[in-house]
Amino acid sequence: MSDAHDIEPTTHPDSAPADDPDAPTILPFGSWPSAIKVSDLTSASIGLAEPWIDGDDIYWIESRPTEGGRRVLVRQGQDGSIQELTPDPANVRSRVHEYGGGSYTVAGGTIVYSECSDGRLYRLDPGIAAPTPITAPGPHRYADLRGDGSRRRFLAIREDHTDPADPKAAIVAVAFDGDRDPVVLYEGPDFLAAPRPSPDGTRLAWLEWDHPDMPWDATRLRIADVAEDGTLGVSALIAGAPGESIAQPEWSADGLLHFVSDKTGWWNLYRLAAGPRLEPLAPREAEFADPAWVFDRSSYAFLADGSIVATPRAGGRDRLAHITPGVAIGDVESAFTEYDGLRASATAVVALAGSPTSTRVVLRLDPQTLEPVGVLRRAMDAAPDEGLISEPESIRFPSAGGRTAHALYYPPRNVGVVGPDAERPPLVVLTHGGPTSDASSALDLGMQLFTSRGIAVVDVDYAGSTGYGREYRHALDGQWGIADVEDCTAAARYLVERGDVDPERLAIKGGSAGGLTTLAALAFGDVFSAGISLYGIGDLEALARDTHKFEARYMDRLVGPYPAAATTYRERSPIHALDRIACPVLVMQGLDDMVVPPAQAEAIVAALAANGIPHAYLAFEGEGHGFRGADAIRRSLEAELTFLGAVFGFEPADELPPLDVAGIDAWRAAHGQRRGSPASAALAAPTAPAATRSA
């Protein structure tokens, strides 16, 4: 693959005049040469996750695409040196609920972590390089770990897969030495999370919920006394009711239980004071938590003086807030707009942070001023030249039913290159997963890969997204496959009407739940002329029958109870309307996906082939729900660039491997696809089956 400075601009009638060396080069949108390379997203970047503080040491996990996505535990010691702790081939990852999280904990320098390959817990002692297994081989998985030092044990959520069709959840105590089997402390509810011992070890708090709720729908917070022998007494319900989501219970140093509740319509922070009585600590229209797709989320932490640092989200971005209960609530000025995994101790505050000009970093803050004092690790060592970075514009736009939807718009940007005056850029509409996720404002090289080549991107927070309160999060109830499609189409229409993008070159892309939105937009509408589905949901009935326990009843709320609402499931499923897809589709799938099985992608591809629709299919061995390995990440991005160029009639400046999109030339000829059509055509709204348009 050629570097940017090796690429000569293609000849174009609108090229800059030879006597004006400072004038930008004029090139067709999509064909701009860029110094941001596909390889930058693999060989030059890593994933960062799960920060932790133990004494003066700071820990985090690095996910390395060049090692097949292996997750490595790393520590920065008091002297500032950084050490890799888990030896190859150790992979620090939990698969509880399939999504994991909370995959390790540290107490007094001793590490206990979940090993992905066998699901067992391993202990890693200070100064010892080889980890020791402390749970036996078997059908068990562990997550959300916490130390219980006075009893020389660790607490965890255990998922028992003895019956793979119905895994059982339990809170268990795991002996520090692993010399006996884990002891079950509590079981019964369908799901359990967040076992949190009080500072003196005399009480234990936890979360629980049951089908058909997801943890962002309704959860219960319970507390039980812990006996001298470590067993639990009778538990008491502290908070939670139908329609109320409780999240992130944590004990302050003075033994007060704190948690987040959305009973006001926003996930706000509370504490259980003497009485007992619940005290709201920072009431505001902002979210102090996010959907618990993974364990051990952390959006607030306690400082040494008893105050709280938190990262509430509002208006599509995170803030850094300092809360002194009963005294003051104030935001701290920060250049960062995204935070995750917030932790604090007497000596440090640490979080994963990002901004429109910075990829994710492990950020250290001063515990008194909350000012940044150092970046411990960057997801990418060298940031792109600022002339290549497209910063997002936060947009609000009207959608169906009087709804206002939200998105981040990234215009093409590459200093020194512009598109022809008569041409508007292609647009890729991004549909995030979840569908409760949200559009991140942190620098994403995958997005900049497109914008620096002259392709516009809009990342849509459609109905159902997080960050806008409970009402917006539940606006997708009964409307999945409808409201999300309407909002993504409305985003494209809004940008076309503003004159930003070409109405004849609109693509939609999404993975997982976003893949359903993508496929539904193509099957039930005629606005988009290309689609990219990554491990996307095509058959809602198959998903209801075959998916894992955590999401087995998720669609009761989003679509309707199954099988009672089977007709609606079929009407909403793009797999049953593939004959209505009239534009090219790129389908990519991990063959080890346990959330959306490969059979769904294969059925979609077979139907596209039978209907003569141009398409390409890439399947990746060893990849699950989301691509982690370098080969899959690289090949999927290369395929997307090649695919969009083939459909929209531009030639990428990169040297890319071929992609077989059968029938694409005939399709373009038949549809009169042309480069640079003026952005003036009216867009038709998508049509969905009338019977499915109300909850």
Query: What's the average model confidence in pLDDT over 172-191?
Result: 94
Starting at the edge strand that comes first in sequence, how are the strands of the sheet with 277-280 ordered?
Answer: 246-251, 257-261, 268-273, 277-280
Q: Identify residue 177 by its one-letter amino acid code.
A: D
Residue-wise pLDDT for 525-540, tens only, equals 999 999 999 999 999 9
Query: What's the average model confidence in pLDDT over 197-204?
Result: 96
What is the pLDDT at residue 14?
44
DSSP H/E element including 353: strand 349-355
What is the pLDDT at residue 347?
92
635 against 42, higher pLDDT: 635
What is the pLDDT at residue 383?
78
**587 has pLDDT over 80:** yes
What is the pLDDT at residue 381?
80
Residue-wise pLDDT for 260-301, tens only, equals 999 999 999 999 988 888 999 999 999 999 999 999 999 999
Residue-wise pLDDT for 86-105, tens only, equals 999 999 999 999 999 999 99
**599 has pLDDT over 50:** yes
List all residues 6 or more positions away from 102 whose beta carbon is below 8 Å from its beta carbon.
50, 94, 143, 144, 145, 157, 294, 295, 296
What is the pLDDT at residue 407?
98
What is the pLDDT at residue 690?
34
**232 has pLDDT over 50:** yes
Query: What's the average model confidence in pLDDT over 570-596?
Result: 92
Among the listed residues 419, 390, 417, 413, the one whose alpha carbon sits nearest the alpha carbon of residue 29: 419
**683 has pLDDT over 70:** no
List all residues 6 or more positions away from 509 whose beta carbon is below 8 Å from its beta carbon.
428, 429, 430, 431, 518, 531, 532, 533, 534, 640
Q: Identify residue 186 by its one-letter amino acid code.
A: Y
What is the pLDDT at residue 389?
96
List all residues 6 or more positions away from 47 whose beta carbon is below 8 Å from its beta carbon.
62, 63, 64, 65, 69, 71, 379
Distance separating the N- and C-terminal Cα atoms of the chain: 50
List all residues 6 or more positions away from 564 whose beta carbon is below 8 Å from its beta carbon.
none
Least confident segment among 19-33, 263-277, 547-561: 19-33
Average pLDDT for the chain: 91
34, 414 contact by CB (below 8 A): yes
**692 has pLDDT over 50:** no
Query: What's the average model confidence in pLDDT over 238-256?
Result: 96
226, 206 contact by CB (below 8 A): no
Q: Identify residue 369 by its one-letter amino acid code.
A: T
Least confident segment among 7-21, 153-167, 547-561: 7-21
149, 108 contact by CB (below 8 A): yes
What is the pLDDT at residue 673?
56
Q: Identify residue 139 by its one-letter amino acid code.
A: P
What is the pLDDT at residue 666?
86
Q: How confident is the model at residue 313 (pLDDT cuts 50, 70, 90)?
A: very high
List all residues 6 or more positions away from 376 whose beta carbon is below 8 Å from its beta carbon.
58, 60, 76, 82, 350, 361, 362, 363, 364
What is the pLDDT at residue 19?
59
How far is 259 from 236, CA to CA, in rounded Å? Answer: 16
How far is 207 from 217, CA to CA, in rounded Å? Answer: 13
How far is 282 from 288, CA to CA, in rounded Å? Answer: 9
Using only C-alpha atoms, what is the Rg of the chain?
A: 25
How far is 512 from 596, CA to CA, in rounded Å? Answer: 7
Look up residue 589 and give its two tokens.
């799938």
Coil vs helix vs strand at 631: helix
How far is 199 from 266, CA to CA, in rounded Å? Answer: 28
How far is 303 from 617, CA to CA, in rounded Å? Answer: 51
**Rounded to the nearest 10 degrees, how much is the dihedral formed by the CA atoms of 521, 523, 529, 530?**
80
How far is 299 from 287, CA to CA, in rounded Å? Answer: 9
| Whether the model pTM is above 0.75 | yes
Look up residue 646 and give its two tokens.
């083939």
Placement of tokens 């070890």 in the chain: 201
Task: Please report how many Cα atoms fall inside a 13 Å half-sphere around the Cα of residue 600, on the Cβ side.
Answer: 34
How far is 400 from 398, CA to CA, in rounded Å? Answer: 7
Placement of tokens 């997203």 in the chain: 41
What is the pLDDT at residue 521?
97
679 against 513, higher pLDDT: 513
Question: Between β-strands 313-314 and 317-318, what pairing exists: parallel, antiparallel or unpaired?
Answer: antiparallel
